[in-house]
Each structure stands twice: as structure tokens, then as C-alpha cells.
Amino acid sequence: MANRWRNTLTSDDVTPEAMFVNRRQMMAGAAALGLGLTASPLRAAGLEPNSFEDITSYNNYYEFGTGKDDPARYADQLTTDPWTIKIDGLVEKPGDYALSDLVPQMTIEERIYRFRCVEAWSMVVPWNGFELADLLELVGVKSGAKYVAFETVLRPEEMPGTRFPVLDWPYREGLRLDEARHPLTLLATGIYGKPMPNQNGAPIRLVVPWKYGFKYAKSISRITLTDQEPPTSWNMANAREYGFYSNVNPEVAHPRWSQATERRIGGGLFAKREPTLMFNGYDEVASLYQGMDLRKNF
């Protein structure tokens, strides 16, 4: 059942870390000399994954603080082994699933996806993970189920950010069942072939590349199949700014900033803004929303 989706970005596009560092130094050198930057062909094609360092040092994971560097600083406090996911609601085989039993039954693939944050910055991330569809098949979805709800673990003693009511904890996210079953949708367990770093949502997180990054629930401790649209954290905090769908859409502005363009992280001080693509470039999901007004269902 795995391998339904093929990468257009392949592992050949992954820049070796050493070369990436060299290129960065060259760019910094050129910039310092006032020469400006000439975009590399790789960058022009938009195919170059961000360095492991960028991906693991610039994170939004408010359970560890609202600063971009807070997760890298504090997330090592989180115990990720052993880990169980409670799977309940409208499923044939509800229960507490140990991750160590679950993962060997799944096919782990590498998927190089564009990642677009609602804050109008973006990265390219080489994820390792399995299709959520495969897990849903394993647990058996009952016929009335229409949505999948995700919950991030809540451990105030390990997550300093949750001591403040920044959001209504625990962090909750949700997908429509057809979105959850789409072959692009992953449960990711690693990055760059390494186990998922804590600041990126270890041990297991959602990846939905055509949606804004906040939809990618991290450190998932519960998955619930429901017949109602589940409440989601950012929508609960500010419904005007964050819709349930939150598909990447350059035509629907966030009330506080435009979504028409994005800044690619890793391009240094003079990175040019790039146009944001509808569905973050994953046009194959367009059929999921046929007949829907995506301005209303933002």
C-alpha cells in the first residue's frame, strides 16, 4: 500500500551537508564583498532541501516556548521512548499502540517535501515516514468516520511552554478523512534518515505538505476518528486567522500579512521572496476540494 506517491524531488537533490556549508560560506563571502548573490541553479529550481541544522534550529513548537530557538533549547527534556499512541473513536481496533510495535509494520519512505509556514517562510525537508493511510487501514476505519483528530502529548513538567496559556493545551489538529488518506499525508518518524529530533516533533508527527505547517501536529499521543469536524488549536485561538483547512493558498491573505509570497529559509540575508504556490505546489490534492469555496473554507 505504500509507495503510492512519487517524489518529484529525489535524493539526488539533497545537497551533501559539506557542500551546503561551502556554498553558504561562498555566499556569505560574496555578500560581504558587496557582490550580491547569484542564485545557484539548484536554488533557482527550488529543489534544494534545507540543511539539517536549519531544520532543527528554527522551529515553532509552542509547548517549548514561542521563540524559534526555544524548541532546540528545551525539547530534549521530552521523553520519547517508550511512546504509545492512543487510537480511538470510530475505529475497528481501538487501543494503545506502542510505537515500537507499530513502526515495524509500516513502510518507511523518504519524502522530500516543500514546507510552508503560515508565517510566510518556507523550507524543503527530507522526511522519513509512512503514509497515514496505512495506519488507518491497520486500525480499521468504521463507516461513519469523516474526520481524523490528532493530539500532541501534554506534559507540563517536560514542556515549559505549556505552563502559560499561549494556546488551549493540549495541541489539537485535524484532517478530513479523505485528506488523511491522501498518499501525500505522512506520519513522519525522521529527517535526513535520522530519528526525528525532539524539536521537530519526536517521535512521530503529522506531515501534510499542501497545508500550512501548524497543521502538522507534533509528538502525537492520540488519534481519534470522528464524525464531526474536530476542534483545532489555532482555530480555537483565533478563528478569523486560522481556518480548519489551512491549505496553502497565495490568494487568501492572513489578516496580518500577505500569503502571496514566501521567504525561503537558508538563503541568507538577501534571499529573494518567491511566489507561494497554490496547495504549496501539490496540485494533485485540488480534486479533494472541488466545488468548495476556498476563500470561505480557508
Partner 1 sequence: MIDVVNRSVRAIPNWVLYVAGAVPVIWLYVLGFQNALGADPVDAIERNLGLWALWLLIAGLCITPLQRLTPLRLIKLRRPIGVVAFFYVLVHFLTWLVLDVQIPSQIVADIIKRPYVTVGMAALLLLLPLAVTSNNWSIRKMGARWRTVHKLVYPAVLLAGLHMVMQAKGFQLEPLVYLAAIAFLVAMRWMPLSSFRQAFVKR
SS3 of 88, please?
A: strand
Residue holding cell 475505529? 91
217 is in an annotated binding site: yes
210 to 239: interface string for partner 1, x by CB under 8 A: ------------------------x--xx-
Q: Does 271 bind partner 1 (CB under 8 A)?
A: yes
Among 10, 40, 105, 258, binds partner 1 (CB under 8 A): 258
Stretch of 130-138, 163-171, 221-229, 279-287 contacting partner 1, by CB under 8 A = 163-171
Backbone angle region of 155, left / alpha / beta, with phi > 0 → left and psi within -120 to 50 → alpha:
beta
280 exposure class (CB count in 10 Å sphere: 0-12, 13-18, 19+)? buried
Does 164 help bind partner 1 (rule: CB under 8 A)? yes
d(CA 233, CA 242): 9
Residues recorded for the chain: 298
Contact call for residue 266 and partner 1 (CB under 8 A): yes
Number of residues near partner 1 (by CB under 8 A)? 39
Quote the least distance from Cβ 171 to partner 1, whole Å: 11
Contacts of 41 (CB under 8 A, 6+ apart): none
Contact 206, 68 (CB under 8 A): no
Among 14, 27, 208, 217, binds partner 1 (CB under 8 A): 27
Query: How far lies 206's CA from each of 106, 129, 131, 272, in Å?
Result: 15, 9, 10, 29
User: Of 24, 86, 146, 176, which lies in the binding site for partner 1, with binding defined by CB under 8 A?
Assistant: 24
Among 272, 283, 284, 295, binds partner 1 (CB under 8 A): 272
Annotated binding site for Mo-molybdopterin, which residues? 59, 62-63, 117, 152, 200, 205, 216-218
